[in-house]
Amino acid sequence: MDLNLFISLLVRTISLGTPIALVGLGEGFSQKAGPLNLGIIGYLSLGAYVSWVMAYRLQNPWIATIMAMLAAGLLAAFVAFLVVTLNLSQIVVGVGVAFFAEGLVCLLTFIAWPNYLIPTSFNVGVFRTAGIPILREIPFIGEVLFGHHLFVYLMVGIAFLLHYIVNKTKFGLKLRAVGESTAASDAMGINVARIRYIVIIVSGMLCGLAASYMTLVRARAYVLGITGGVGFLALAAIVLGAWKSPRIVLAALLFGFVRSLHFLGQAQRWINIPSEVWQMLPYIVAIIVLMISSIRIGAEAPPELARTYIREDEA
Amino acid sequence: MGRKLLSELISTLIIIIIVMIAASLLFMLAGINPIEAIRLIIYGALGRTRGISESLIRAIPITLIGLSVTIAFRAGLWNVGGQGQFYAGAIGASFIALFFPMTRIIHLPLLFIAAFITGGIYAGIAGFLRAYMRVNEILSTLMLNFITLWLTQYLATGPWSDPGRIIVATAFFPDSARLNRLHDTVRVHQGLYLALLCVGIVFVILNYTVYGQKLKVLGANLTAAKYAKINIKKKIVTIFLLSGGFAGLAGAVEVSGVYYCLRNGAFPIEAGYGFIGIGAALMGMLTPVGTLISAVFFGILIAGSSYLKTVVDLHGHTVNFIIGLLIIGMVARHLFRPKIQKFLDKVLFGKKELTERGTSSGS
Amino acid sequence: MSTSALAIEMRQIRKVYGRDVVANDGIDFDVKFGEVHCLLGENGAGKSTLMKILFGLVQADEGEIFINGNPVKFLSPSDAINGGIGMVHQQFKLVPSLTVLENIALGLNEKKLGKIESEFGRVCLEYDVDIDKNKKVKDLPAHEQQLVEILKLLCLGQKILIFDEPTSILVGEQIQQLLKRLKEWAKMGHAVVFISHKMNEVLEVGDRISVLRNGKKVACVEGDGIERDKLIELMVGEDFKEYKRGEEKDLSSAEKILQVDNLSVKNQENKFVLEDVSFSVREGEIFGIAGIQGNGQDALVEVITGTNPESIRITDGKIELEGINITGFTSSKIESKKIDLGYIPPKAKDIGVATTLSVKENLLLRGWSQYGNVFVNWRKLYKRADELIEKYNISVPSKEANVSTLSGGNRIKIILARELSRQTKLLVIFDPCTGLDVKSIEFFKKNLLELAKNNNTAILLVSNDLDLLFDVCDSLGVIFRGKVLPYQSSDGSFKMDEITNMMTGGE
């Protein structure tokens, strides 16, 4: 394999891994405090739509990204209302919201562009990737690591920020306590609902950011279902990353790598493996990863994951 | 007991009305007259014999997957892999249909048994991982969904494809592997009987067998299940096998009753039956009969909006937002159902409540 | 804060659960700074509900609450905490995998962890307690966890301290030490509420004693000069007979039903939770094992009944039931050998029933083969259910009703009815009486004794409730740090002090 191909494989690994990492970071943050958001699939669809429609209307990808984060955060806040305030099952609401958002985005896309005549990147203010000046000129390392869009480096920053918040701050201590034992935390006077609202909304906003990255940076295009698969792989990345931010990023990059193998398979005709096998490979890897993780770190999942908390009210 | 059922029905109706109002508002946003849209949906789904047939065609696999979900969820096992098991069943059925031609009376049953087994074993993977390796079944079933999706595409475009056909698909099944249509003029097929039979089977399992009782105990409380002398691991695996089996049947019904072949990629269906099955089961309160009723309702909704598409060119998945809202609404219903029951007690059953009070007081 | 104001004043508190369970019926209750005020009552008298209302965990239907003379309305525990109230719950509200200091930090508003550390040191000094702040809470023994719970409140500067049955997890010397501390804290100016149903403790520590019965307050008396009998009468309302064990039985020739030989069990961390345990239970014998929580009794009961988690495993020894080796069997495997044992688990109302299922379905639990192998014989079960409901006086709206709608006491009755009526050769019982009222306990004891006498059932009773054990057991063992020692008393009768001594490790 020649060097250029190898470089582009690694570049793809990072650019495909970044959205998985962003979603995994937010959702991992949320799971650490208990809430499981299957609705991330919905947040992503909505984020992708909003980023594209805003970038088209406003011709400004930055504002479009912020709008996408707000929209996904708003949907997440609705979910938080359902699962925290109304105590509905997180799994059922997650499935419901995924459905709802998918249908809604179909309708909204229809409203924005009747007959689904979606504008291409010529008419939309997408991001132009520049990378980091000077550094990107370094042979190999610069090409692999420093030619990316700012969002990639932002993702790394977010990973460390979340890691710091969870492990070094009072808020993080509370968050871990809530994920470990909600009843105890509640009795200690920790505002469980507030913490869960915050983490769910953060999870939503990072989905918005991930979706914006996918449309405005990576694909520079928008089609319905563009975010498919990313949410599911992010869920697996969290388990592989043992709910620790830096490890989640590495796990996401692993999935990015497996996904980019598809490209390698196409580029290298000599690898005679059908395209479908490349397509399903990330999910096979995910299952193997889940198996390995469960042997190695099975006990590390937050004990209150996916549980609704209802204050005991019994004579 | 009648009061509870009545309050369930009323609260379900309220949810449906609220969702329809929300849907109407969104349709208005899209510049579609909601009354016209609803009229078209109803006409498309129920207006003619053909409409009813189209609704039922969709209700059949949704019912079967709904039963699959009912079994798993009742046991507290979150099998959200109905979609993957559906494809697994379709693959298993196609394998028998295409490569083992024989007389109809053996071929069709064998095809369904194969689908039940492939769907079951496919779900059984998740069950095994959950029981013996503590792998979260939500994650594993979600991942497994994708694998059979791509496997189906691979088979239909590659090794099993029939180059003589215009669309990318396998060859048509022989007649011996096709479910007959109920009438020449409509597409609805004998799979309807299979779905009804399965509703009956699941009803009996859940209500009249020791297995069903143990399944429910497992769903209620894992510690209690261990206390209740239930072999938890074995039970988890068998429940997944059973659950996946019904989802597999849904796949078989689609290939042998509707398409007569295994087709390229996703089936040309308006939405993933696998997930809609979850909605139907939840809306049906995780009971077999309730699931059947909800499946018919979703069938109407999907067939109707499919007809709507011929007038307004909306993407097929648009109807999902109604389904999503209904799923959320169905769980939210528990918040106000007791209040409705209380209200009914007061208005309709005032006397009855008093006598019950007499016996329930104490402690 | 003026010194004359009452720390707590609750007026005419009323709370009804569900349709008609009146937990609190117009209760008045007040506490002064500098006193220990005891709240005495049977299980189910309404003590816990009253305190949950005070702490914002439950909202009262009617009534007013004043703290330091100011009217308050607590909608959540955090409101109550801000109002200066600290509560030590029966089940600790600690996060097990965090350290002592982290748990303390969680309760405080202070954000800087360094400041919290120094504050913690100061409080430990002031209140004269010694604890390793860097240890994880899950590694501490129960009485130290309780201390962490209390320190949390003291660091927060709470002046009002509520203790909900704090001695239920303690034994012997530990109880005395806690009671002594309570009195000291009251002297230091705290208002202390002590909730209990144990007469001796209340008499020892209480400056004032309020007695609740059936959701009503029946008296508030000065602690000095009140007589024990008078208090009992106030608490129970009518005189009831304490059921005592009958004559000595000669069991030496009876068949051994359960035989445990040199049993050793290790946990996940490869530490012994049971070490070289041997004992047997004979036909018609009630064998009691006394012990403080956390000395291996969970593991003992779990491996006998086959309900142990996978993390604990038998490394040595043998368990025989009715002559069949069941070592390491799961509950389902024991059943497959066609032998049966009755089991009343700890926290029975949570584990022993599946709350989302109906009463009839719960009566089926564990007795599967009695009602069919493939199909359930509902008719037979219905008939049986009627008999049991009648015999054990369980009050249920109907056999179809969800168990979640029943009170804790009725849930336990369902379990008792099911397990006692199955007439197995062996019955294993673990801490049965938590959550039962006095009358139910007496009823339970009576049934137990009858079962041993009339059906020759072998009964293994594991508990930390010495009163119960003394009343019904034929012989006793003590479990301490994974070892079971037989108890032979000096003169043939059970002696409280000797047993407590063994339970805490002194020989």
DSSP symbols for C60-100? -SEEEEEETTEEE--SSHHHHHHTTEEEE-SS----TTSBH
Q: For C177-195, what is the mean pLDDT?
A: 92
Closest residue on chain A to C81 (Cα): A189
Inter-chain touch A177–C106, beta carbons under 8 Å: yes
- Write out the residue range of the structural domain in which residue B192 sits: 66-283
Residue C122 belongs to a domain: yes
Q: Is residue C102 part of a domain?
A: yes
Q: Is B357 on the interface with C (CB under 8 A)?
A: yes
Rounded distance between C-alpha atoms, residue C325 and residue C340, angstroms: 13
| Radius of gyration, alpha carbons of chain B | 22
Work out the number of other CB atoms within 10 angstroms of the CB of residue B164.
6
Distance from the Cα of C412 to chain B's closest Cα (Å) equals 12
**Residues from chain C contacting residue B215 (CB–CB below 8 Å):** none
A103 to B318: CB separation less than 8 angstroms, yes or no? yes
Asked if the structure places residue B313 within a domain, the reply is: no
Is residue B343 predicted with pLDDT exceeding 80?
Answer: yes
Q: Is the pLDDT of residue C246 over 70?
A: no
C157 pLDDT higher than 70: yes
Specify if A303 maps to a domain. no
The C-alpha atoms of residue B118 and residue B92 are separated, in whole angstroms, by: 6
Residue A299 in any domain: the answer is: no
User: In sequence order, what are the beta bridge partners of C462?
Assistant: C289, C430
Distance of CA A33 to the CA centre of its chain: 17
- On the question of pLDDT at C48 being above 90, the answer is no
Chain A CB contacts of C102 under 8 Å are 173
Confidence of residue B252 (pLDDT cuts 50, 70, 90): very high
Residue B172 lies in a domain: yes
Residue that finishes a domain, picked among C423, C457, C473? C423
| C86 phi, psi to nearest 5 deg | -120, 135
- The CA–CA distances, whole Å, from C472 to C248, C287, C453, C494 equal 11, 9, 11, 11
My answer on whether C380 and C498 are in the same domain is: no
Based on the fold, state whether residues C360 and C458 are members of the same structural domain: no
Distance CA B201, CA B78 (A): 21
Max mean pLDDT among A40-54, A266-280, B21-35, C206-220 falls in A40-54
Q: Which domain holds residue A122?
A: 17-228
Instruction: Name every residue in C having a CB less than 8 A away from some CB of B.
Output: 19-21, 44, 305-307, 330-335, 343, 345, 350-357, 361, 364-366, 368, 371-376, 378, 395-397, 400, 406-407, 409-410
Chain B neighbours (≥3 Cβ pairs under 8 A) are A, C
- What percentage of chain B reaches a pLDDT higher than 90? 53
Q: What average pLDDT does the segment C26-51 reach?
A: 88
Contacts of C17 in chain A (CB under 8 A): 313-315
Backbone angles phi, psi at B52, to 5 degrees: -60, -40
Q: Using a CB-CB distance cutoff of 8 angstroms, which residues of chain C are in contact with residue B361? A: 20, 395
How far, in Å, CA of C110 to CA of C103, rounded? 13
Q: Which two tokens stand for residue C293?
A: 């929580």
Residue C1 reports pLDDT greater than 50 = no
- CA–CA dist A259, A124 (Å, integer): 27
User: Residue C458 forms beta bridges with which residues?
Assistant: C426
Distance CA B340, CA B218 (A): 30
Strand partners, C217: C212
CA angle A38, A44, A47 (to 5 degrees): 140
- Span B144-150, mean pLDDT? 91
In the predicted model, residues of chain A with pLDDT beneath 50 are 298-299, 313-315
**Crossing angle for the helix pair A245-267 and A3-32, nearest 10 degrees?**
150
Domain tally for chain C? 3
Rounded to two decimals, what is the model's pTM? 0.87
Q: Residue C308: pLDDT above 70? A: yes
Interface test with chain A among B317, B334, B363, by most A beta carbons within 10 Å: B317
C184 and C66 in a common domain? yes
Q: In what order do the strands lie in the sheet with C62-67?
A: C21-31, C8-17, C62-67, C70-72
Determine the Cα–Cα distance for residues A60 and A65; give it in Å rounded to an integer: 9
Residue in B80, B139, B321 nearest the CB of A100 = B321
Q: Are residues A107 and B78, on separate chains, in Cβ contact within 8 Å?
A: no
- Do the domain assignments include residue B334? no
Give the nearest chain B residue to A279 (CA atoms): B150
The per-type count for chain C, helices as H runs and strands as E runs, is: 17, 20
Position A6 scores a pLDDT of 87
**Averaged pLDDT for residues C189-208:** 88
Q: How confident is the model at residue C93 (pLDDT cuts 50, 70, 90)?
A: confident
What per-residue confidence (pLDDT) applies to B172? 92
Does residue C1 form part of some domain? Answer: no
Structural domains of chain A, count: 1
Q: Is residue B20 part of a domain?
A: no
Structure tokens at C113: 């962890």
Spatial distance between the Cα atoms of A260 and C231, rounded to a whole number of angstroms = 78
User: Which residues, other chains included, contact C79 with Cβ-Cβ below 8 Å and sequence gap of 6+?
Assistant: C56, C72, C73
pLDDT mean over B1-19 = 84
Do C366 and C398 reside in the same domain of the chain? yes
* Of A303, A310, A7, A21, residue with least CA distance to A180: A303
Q: What is the pLDDT of residue A315?
A: 31
Identify the pLDDT of residue B269.
41
For residue A51, tell me if it sits in a domain: yes
CATH number, residue C90: 3.40.50.300
Chain C's closest residue to B226, CA to CA, is C307
Report the C-alpha gap between B56 and B2 in whole angstroms: 29
Nearest alpha-carbon partner for B91 in B261, B274, B268, B275: B261
The answer to whether position C349 is within a domain reads no
Cβ–Cβ below 8 Å for B80 and A95:
yes
Q: Which domain holds residue C332?
A: 242-340+424-507
Interface of B with A in 125-184 (CB under 8 A): 129, 133-136, 138-140, 142-144, 146-147, 149-151, 153-154, 157-158
C354 close to B228: Cβ distance less than 8 angstroms: yes
Instruction: Please indicate whether residue B357 or residue A117 has the higher confidence score (pLDDT).
Output: A117
Contact check, Cβ <8 Å, C98/A180: yes
Six-digit token string for C394 = 């369980």
Q: What sign for the dihedral angle of Cα B303, B305, B308, B309? A: negative
Task: Round to whole Å and give the CA distance between B330 and C237.
Answer: 48
- Looking at every residue in chain C, the average pLDDT score rounds to 85
Count the domains in chain B.
Answer: 1
Asked whether residue C440 falls in the same domain as residue C383, the answer is no
Q: Are residues C270 and C194 in the same domain?
A: no
The last residue of one of the domains, among C236, C269, C301, is C236
Instruction: Please give the ipTM for the structure prediction.
Output: 0.89
Instruction: Select the residue of B150, B158, B314 nearest A106 (Cβ to Cβ).
Output: B314
- Residue A184 and residue C93: Cβ atoms within 8 Å? yes
Question: Cβ contact (<8 Å) for B363 and C44?
Answer: yes
Residues C163 and C85: beta-carbon distance below 8 Å: no
Decide: A214 and A227 in contact? Cβ < 8 Å: yes
d(CA B37, CA B16) in angstroms, rounded, equals: 16
If one compares B195 and C250, the residue with the highest pLDDT of the two is B195
Together in a domain, C142 and C100: yes
Instruction: Catalogue the E-assigned strands of chain B.
Output: none
For residue B355, what pLDDT band results from cuts at 50, 70 and 90? Answer: very low
In a domain, B268, yes or no: yes
- Give per-residue pLDDT as tens, C412-459: 888 888 888 888 899 999 987 666 666 777 788 888 888 888 889 999
Q: How many helices (H) and strands (E) does chain B have?
A: 14, 0
Say whether B293 sits in a helix, a strand or coil: helix
C404 and C451 share one domain? no
Confidence of residue C142 (pLDDT cuts 50, 70, 90): confident
CB contact under 8 A, B230 and C332: yes
> Rounded to 5 degrees, what angle do the CA atoms A136, A138, A144 make?
60
> Could A235 and B278 be called an inter-chain contact, meaning their C-beta atoms sit closer than 8 Å?
no
List chain B residues with CB under 8 Å of A116: 313, 315
Which residue's entry shows tokens 């929580």?
C293
Q: Is residue A88 part of a domain?
A: yes
